[in-house]
Structure 1
């Protein structure tokens, strides 16, 4: 593909502020355009399921349209996963960087922040990484099966749930529909003024879909790796498991507040896979995160006892304060991206 064409497409898709000079000749771009050697997307994974015994019904597919007979019986392809990739012209990362999001979210986690700044997708492409960003099975452009195939029901979160649970507000009761009554944690770095934009990203999630999610992520790893996996929250349960099952495919793990650790009984599988764990602020004052962090650290200790390398970074202890659970969206997300990049450089994963 033509390099100039790709650079132009990247500006639109990645949210760059550097627009064509002809449209705003008086405004200098804030940053260099992102030049790509390629970009694209694909779906991966899934299985075919046969539905039988359902009645044929008449539907109107569009308002005012002609009714049509719909037979719901037959084969369905379900549990596929959507992946989008951006490959910089000046590649510096030695391996692809896979970004996996947390529960109730999609790959938008790593794109533009709720208040319109660069997300980690942009930042790491600029740092020279081939980035593969995905919507896990059941989320976003991956979609989910009908109740005939997944009989369980998804859960939906009220508007204030993330505010109170993701260490943005001061716990239960801290969210209010009145912005003046929001109880934000002191010094919090989350862009609270754009909280509604974050809520708009939330999607329903199932509590029993781990198996198809792991299957699709595993197929992705088999397709594009060896690689580095950067993952957040719920995805800890997927990334650690897949890395333990396929350690030859994973060159490093960057765990951003993993909600689920790996299997300590299989810790030795990761003795040659360096791990970075990053935790934000206010953890000691939270009702759940002290226990979750303790489990993560205990798993890391098991990996170290088996001869592996695990670095645990509590951001306040290195002078980076105020981070919520969504630290890739926080106002200091660039500092944290630089910290991750420095670690990757020290591990010899950057040209």
Structure 2
């Protein structure tokens, strides 16, 4: 907002101020104190993935009883248990918002990352750019820390997205996994067998994928980038550690150096969009 943007902060349908109703809506889930500590606020104390040891930017001890942690945890609300339903509902609601307000830059983070691709798929002319901050899971399979199960069946989305040549079902995607990873502590990516189906509705939208040094996403966000590039999407990929911005986790926007990170995003926008 300080940079002159009109900002729409969107509550996911059936979450936060967008009320959930037990008679009509879907099963909910919540996030435990332990999960928040391990994944977001104090991963360096648990080291569930190799990069976690570098985490240092959370403003506090990151554990229950610390006032910063308690304030953050108090802000957490239940969400619909099905990521596919959340993605579909968010796609439909944001598409309607874009119809009202006109073209906009989408900024997504974490779970909402898959919805960003889905929104752009049906409103490609109204999405000026996508800034995907550690978006969702890697293509096809979850990371081992989450169990390594099949997840994003359509590559970068849970629900159907338009490919060319067209697909009737996600099972028509022909897949191959890297034999060797691209570096130490990096996931083996799933890709399409060539020639790859393209994502035509995303092809003309500038995309930034940004990942921190210490998040669990540091192990696999390059896989999302590879999938998108293989499918014809114009993607820039920034690892904050390559800019000497160190120690951040998945909730980088709440951490001590968040203004420095925001500057990286603004600089990218000035180059590619504004």
RMSD: 2.3
Matches of 1:301 and 1:348, distance apart in 2:
19
The answer (yes or no) to whether the contact 1:277–1:310 under 8 Å persists in 2 is yes
2:58 to 190, 196, 210: 190
Q: Which runs of 5+ in 2 are unaligned?
A: 62-67, 138-155, 164-196
SS at match of 1:328: helix
The answer (yes or no) to whether the contact 1:267–1:302 under 8 Å persists in 2 is no
Paired positions, count: 207
**Who is 1:279 aligned against?**
211
Does 2:13 align with 1:137? yes
Does 2:120 align with 1:243? yes
1:149 to 24, 48, 51: 24
Matches of 1:167 and 1:318, distance apart in 2:
22
> What is the TM-score normalised by the length of structure 1?
0.54
**Who is 2:64 aligned against?**
none
> What is the TM-score normalised by the length of structure 2?
0.69
Instruction: Answer 1 or 2: which has greater strand percent.
Output: 1
Q: Which runs of 5+ in 1 are unaligned?
A: 1-124, 175-183
Matches of 2:198 and 2:81, distance apart in 1:
24
Matches of 2:123 and 2:92, distance apart in 1:
13
The answer (yes or no) to whether the contact 2:212–2:252 under 8 Å persists in 1 is yes
CA separation of 1:270 and 1:323: change in aligned 2, threshold 3 A: same
Matches of 1:234 and 1:186, distance apart in 2:
23
Larger Rg: 1
Q: How far does residue 188 in structure 1 lie from its aligned partner after superposition?
A: 1.3
SS at match of 2:247: coil
Matches of 2:54 and 2:127, distance apart in 1:
38
1:169 to 43, 46, 66: 43
**Who is 2:219 aligned against?**
290
Matches of 2:222 and 2:54, distance apart in 1:
24
Q: How far does residue 223 in structure 1 lie from its aligned partner after superposition?
A: 1.5
